[in-house]
Amino acid sequence: MQLERLLHSQGFGTRKACRALARAGRVSVAGEPCGDPFADFAPENLEFAVDGETWRYREKATLMLHKPPGYECSHKPLHHPSVFTLLPEPLKARGVQCVGRLDEDTRGLLLFTDDGQLLHRLSSPKHKVPKVYQVTAKHPVDAAQMAALTGGVQLRDEPAPLAALACEPVSERVIRLTLAEGKYHQVKRMVAAAGNRVESLQRIAVGGLALPEDLAEGEWRWLEEEDLARLTAK
């Protein structure tokens, strides 16, 4: 693949802008400066750098973000900054999209991808990809409330009761709730219907992929093959 095309595919601007990057001496490939925008390279696992920042060629961009509270999962936020401001420009230029959404005040594991098939697989209700949330409630969560959450609670505008796949106690006011759907404010509405109130909420896993303990709020990292395998494992 020609260097200008490679840079363009990775979100570094138009073909013309990518040619200019190379000719300006701002690009290196495999540790060596490359000023020829038409030089050919095998793209698979190729490492290159733009302005000293190293990247690896990826046909599809899939990543995780530890979302902080105070950010909206939208390109056009209404009241708070967009989560997309936490990502570097090349990823935004590639058109990565949120895989589902987290409320403005919710933190935790948020996935992004430009892979349409993966986005559909993870987002479509028919695939029932489990999402695990750590819920801090206002009041102690008793056995009757946990039984209601797993047995099914009726929400307004929903034709049938919604049930959690699992509900595990962590402490007196903290539970881990596993859902297969991703409906609007679902965790908060279900907890309210069970007779309590959510004080804080964190998504800690999607599928078999858990939020890494060493990924700080506001930080992102690529999903590698082993992460994708855990994410989509049945």
CB of 130 within 8 A of CB of 208? no
Q: Give Cβ neighbours of residue 5 (< 8 Å, ≥ 6 apart).
A: 15, 18
The question of whether 103 is a catalytic residue gets the answer yes
First-last CA distance in the chain:
36
Please report, for residues 60, 85, 112, 202, the alpha-carbon distance to residue 98 in angstroms, rounded to integers and kept in the order given.
14, 13, 5, 16
Q: Give Cβ neighbours of residue 152 (< 8 Å, ≥ 6 apart).
A: 160, 161, 162, 163
Residue whose C-alpha is closest to residue 223's, from 45, 60, 53, 64: 64
* Marked catalytic residue, from 36, 40, 103, 115: 103
**Which structure tokens are listed for 211?**
């939020």
**Which structure tokens are listed for 62?**
């899939």
Q: CA-CA-CA-CA torsion for 113, 102, 104, 187, nearest 10 degrees?
A: 180
- Burial environment of residue 40 by CB neighbours within 10 A (0 to 12, 13 to 18, 19 or more): exposed
Residues with active-site annotation:
103
